């Protein structure tokens, strides 16, 4: 993933995620789409967010862009608008 944009969907560490912001021109904020769970009580911990340097090998090799299709105001990653 060479040049991410705000709102891009991607696979981050094998899990679906979205770029929800930037901190400067070198970093993006990646938010996992699934909520994190406590390993002990399984309680909801909310969504994990990670600040990542775009030029880092961790991001360039670890982030895989997911194709998205915009359908009537919502975004589909499955490829259909039904």
Listed in sequence order, the DSSP H helices in the chain are: 57-62
pLDDT for 31: 93
pTM, to two decimals: 0.73
Provide the residue-wise pLDDT of the chain in tens; the chain has 82 residues. 678 888 899 999 888 999 999 888 799 999 999 988 889 998 999 999 999 999 999 899 889 988 766 555 555 555 555 5
Query: CB under 8 Å to 20, separation ≥6 — which residues?
Result: 6, 29, 30, 31, 49
Residue pointed to by tokens 């944009």: 5
Please give the pLDDT value at position 36.
86
């Amino acid at each position: 993933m060479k040049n991410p944009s705000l709102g891009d969907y991607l696979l981050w560490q094998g899990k679906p995620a979205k770029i929800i912001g930037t901190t400067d021109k070198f970093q993006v904020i990646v938010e996992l789409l699934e909520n994190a769970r406590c390993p002990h009580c399984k309680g909801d911990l909310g969504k994990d967010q990670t600040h990542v340097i775009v030029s880092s090998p961790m991001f360039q090799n670890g982030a895989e862009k997911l194709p998205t299709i915009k359908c009537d105001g919502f975004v589909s990653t499955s490829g259909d608008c039904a």
